[in-house]
Structure 1
């Protein structure tokens, strides 16, 4: 039996991609599906909210290179008018910080650069039905993100004369909980190298030989509590 509207509900898709060839390729793939239509497309994200709303699309398909992740906040503006609009990002890398940022912004689907056309079609259908799409390689990162949100954070009393910057002081509770540099980087949306630099400076400032000794030297003994 041929694929048709009787099998899947009609889905309208808006394409946001700077690469014209990619837009045309995606358009051809989607148009072969009887239940999918291209509601609109653009390479320019300057008026993306108005364009998506005017298109009345069900799903916004976003090429990873087309939009800085910080600009994904446009989704909240779209959903204030059309709350059921879903977003799917394609052509992404395995950077956990980028993945966390996209999920936090409200993206429901996240496909890596090696995704096939069939993967994209399946993901569009899934997010249109209110499901989430996450690459298996990033599932554990998602679980860790949820676990951190649920785990009580210890607020440390720190010596005021420690010489640490505000950011360095923010790292102390996570170091005390055994977070790796990569996990700390993901938590604060920093690069792993930036965290390494912070830790190196902290070791030097307090005269510590390792990370846990940093905690011991700047924490006021007994001065910690569970944050609300």
Structure 2
């Protein structure tokens, strides 16, 4: 059973999300919070698997709440939901620790798929959004990355090759083809990379790789 917490200041939105999500077998909405501060408290109390988080809310916004949740004891993955397709929201959400980003104009099936993805431990960003992340970190104006982190020494050669390809936005199928291995093997390499580097998901692996000099920004 996937336990879900809804955090949104609009009661009708929360009710709509609950109706959509509880129609899916294996989903349980364990709580609803009307603002980010309440969401942080309920995340600690209820220990959900996935949190559907609005961005703009009173008391505490979704970005600050996500930052507090991801820094705390909760193991939940956070799916940011907003009516605005803005890069500043996207990058702030990722920086805060969110594992997914979805517009509220998405279809109900997309919300269900997003929760499934985060419950599996995956990140949920469309290929277009992933490209925006890579372009942001590979832009000529990007400052020089910091020296490579000592955690890289924990990676095997194959895991390092996998991280390089993750940083370029490759899918598991593409990595498998480039390394001449099966997708199951790639999944194992990706899991090991995330565990050894202490990264939440593959999209944060992209950010980590640029920040720590694994790949260099284009100039």
**TM-score, normalized by length of structure 1?**
0.56
Q: How does 1:58-207 map to 2 (within 5 A)?
A: 58-66=49-57, 72-148=63-139, 153=144
Contact 1:112 1:135 in 2 (8 A): no
Give the unaligned 5+ runs of structure 2: 146-219
CA distance in 1: counterparts of 2:120 and 2:70, whole angstroms: 16
2:165 maps to what in 1? none
Shift of 1:139: 2.6
State the match for 1:35 in structure 2: 26
Q: Which has the higher strand share?
A: 1
Cα distance 1:90–1:150, how it changes in 2: closer, same or farther (>3 A)? same
Cα distance in 1 for partners of 2:90, 2:110 equals 18
- Decide whether aligned partners of structure 1 residues 83 and 64 sit closer, same or farther in structure 2, where only a CA change above 3 A counts: closer
**Residue deviations 1:14-73, cap 9 Å, x none?**
000111111111111111122000111011323332211111111110123336996524
Tell me the secondary structure at the aligned position of residue 65 of structure 1. Answer: coil
Does the 8 A contact of 1:16 with 1:62 survive in 2? yes
Q: Which moved more, 1:55-64 or 1:133-142?
A: 133-142
* Unaligned ranges ≥5, structure 1: 1-9, 155-228
Larger radius of gyration: 1
Q: For residues 69 and 122 of structure 1, do their structure 2 counterparts lie closer, same or farther at Cα, with a shift above 3 Å needed?
A: farther
Counting matched residue pairs gives: 145
The TM-score normalised by the length of structure 2 is 0.58
Give the C-alpha shift of residue 81 in structure 1: 4.4
The CA RMSD measured in Å over matched residues stands at: 2.8
Q: Using the alignment, how far apart are the partners of 1:78 and 1:95 within structure 2?
A: 22
Q: Which among 24, 35, 39 is matched to residue 15 of structure 2?
A: 24
Give yes or no for contact 2:100–2:124 (8 Å, CA) kept in 1: yes
In 2, are the aligned partners of 1:14 and 1:41 still within 8 Å (CA)? Answer: yes
1:19 & 1:54 partners in 2: Cα distance? 22
